[in-house]
Amino acid sequence: MRIGIEHGSGGIETWNLLEKLVLSKLPPHLRKVLDGFGTDVLDDGAYLGSSTKIVLTMDSYTVNPLRFPGGSLGTLAACGTINDLVVMGARPLAAMDSIVVAEGMEIDEVDTIVKDMIDVFARYGIALIGGDLKVMPRNSLDSMIITVAGIGVAKHVVRDSVREGDKIIVTGPIAEHGAVILAAQLGMLDQVKDLRSDVKPLIDTLLPVIEEYGSYVHAARDPTRGGLAVTLNEWVRGTDLTIVIDRSAIPIREEVKNFLDALGIDPLTVACEGVAVLAVDPRVAEEIVEELRKRGERMATIVGEVKKFSNPVAHGKVVAITEVGGRTIVEPRALNLPRIC
C-alpha cells in the first residue's frame, strides 16, 4: 500500500491513515496533558487542562495557486490558525511559523506571501514569536509550504461533544474556498465569474458568541478539508446519534452552486475557510443565530438537528433531507482536490 492523494483529503481515508500511522501507536496516557484533551479527541487543536485554559493548534498550509481571488497562502495560513483556535473558544495570542521554500522561487513572491500572513496577525494583535525557514533543492518542491502553530487562551473551551436535540448552525455560505481553488486549477477563473475564497478570521463574529453562550455551544468547527460532510460525520462517528440536515436551508451562493453542479460535485464536500458549523443547545439556537447576524454573519442559519433513532442503522450517520423531500446518507468523503489549503 502506498500513500495516495486521497489520504490528504480530510475524509475517511485520512482518518484511517492517521489511525494506522499515529493513533494506534500512542498509549492513552500520551494522548493528552493534565485534564485537557488532545489526540484522544482529535479536535482542531489541543487543550492543556489548567486554570488558564490554554489552547494550542498547528497546521501546515499548501495551496495551488499561491495567490487566488480573495487571498493567498499567507492569508490562508494566518486565518486558518486563528479560526482553529476560535472554534475551540480561544482568543489567539501568539503564533510560530515554519516556512519551506523551493530553490528558485522569486524572493519578491515569497515576501508578498509572508507579508499577507503577518498583516493578518498584526490586524488582530497576534504576536509572531519565532519560527524556522528551510529551502528545498530545485525539483524537490514546486513552491512553498507554511506551517503555523498557534496559542490562545479560552474563557470556555469548546470540546466537540454533540448531544441529542442540538441544533446545527452554519455561519455563512459554504464551499466558497474549494470552488475558487478548483476553478483556478482547472484554468476556469476567466470563464466562471464571481468566485472568491471566503478566507477570513472569525475573531470578531464568532468568538464573542462562543464566549457569551459558553457551555450552550457543544461543538464548533471550521469545515475546511472535506467541508460540512466530513465535519458532521466526525461529530457523530462511533455514537448512537444521527445528524439530520435540510439541504435547502444550507446557505450557498448561486454562482458557487451552479459551478459545482455543472461539475457534478456535492457542495457539502467542498472546503470553506471563513465559515463555522456549530452544534448548540436548542434553547438558545435562535438567539445565537441572531447574534451572529448582528456581528456580520448575515447568512447564519439553522440547518439541522442532532437526533437519536431506535434503528441502529442510523447511528453515527449524517442524513440529508433533499430539496425534493427525499433522504440520503451524507458520506464522509471529501472532494479529492490536492493543494487546497
Sequence letter at residue 309: F
For residue 314, what are the domain limits? 167-329
Residue 32: the pLDDT is 58
* Same domain? 146 vs 177: no
Residue 16: the pLDDT is 72
* Same domain? 254 vs 126: no
pLDDT one digit per residue (tens) for the chain, 341 residues: 776 767 566 667 765 766 766 667 656 665 555 555 555 555 566 767 667 788 899 999 999 999 999 999 999 999 999 999 999 999 999 999 999 999 999 999 999 999 999 999 999 999 999 989 999 999 899 999 999 999 999 988 898 899 999 999 999 999 999 999 999 999 999 998 899 999 999 999 999 999 999 999 999 999 998 999 999 999 999 999 999 999 999 999 999 999 999 999 999 999 999 999 999 999 999 999 999 999 999 999 999 999 999 999 999 999 999 888 899 999 988 777 878 88
Q: Which residues contact 206 (CB under 8 A, 6 or more apart)?
A: 86, 87, 171, 220, 276, 292, 295, 297
Residue 256: the pLDDT is 97
Q: Which residues contact 173 (CB under 8 A, 6 or more apart)?
A: 198, 251, 252, 253, 256, 275, 299
Which cell numbers hold the place of 255?
Answer: 454562482
Residue 178 lies in a domain: yes
Binning the chain into helix, strand and coil, the percentages to the nearest 5 are 30, 25, 45
Residue 92: the pLDDT is 97
Residue 12 lies in a domain: no
* Same domain? 88 vs 144: yes
* Same domain? 319 vs 188: yes
pLDDT tens figures, 188-233:
999 988 999 999 999 999 999 999 999 999 999 999 989 999 999 9
Euclidean distance between CA atoms 155 and 90, whole angstroms: 7
* Same domain? 185 vs 111: no
Residue 244 lies in a domain: yes
Residue 336 lies in a domain: no
Number of domains in the chain: 2
Q: Would the pTM count as exceeding 0.75?
A: yes
* Same domain? 225 vs 135: no
* Same domain? 98 vs 244: no
Domain boundary among 96, 127, 154: 154
* Same domain? 76 vs 182: no
Residue 333: the pLDDT is 80
Domain boundary among 121, 154, 187: 154
**CA end-to-end distance (rounded Å), the chain:** 25
Residue 273: the pLDDT is 97
* Same domain? 132 vs 235: no
Residue 6 lies in a domain: no
Q: Which residues contact 280 (CB under 8 A, 6 or more apart)?
A: 166, 167, 169, 213, 216, 217, 218, 288
Cα separation values, 128 from 66, 78, 121, Å: 21, 10, 8
* Same domain? 137 vs 198: no
Residue 200 lies in a domain: yes
Residue 10: the pLDDT is 65
Query: Three-state DSSP class for 125?
Result: coil
Contact between 38 and 31 under an 8 Å Cβ cutoff? The reply is yes
Residue 4 lies in a domain: no
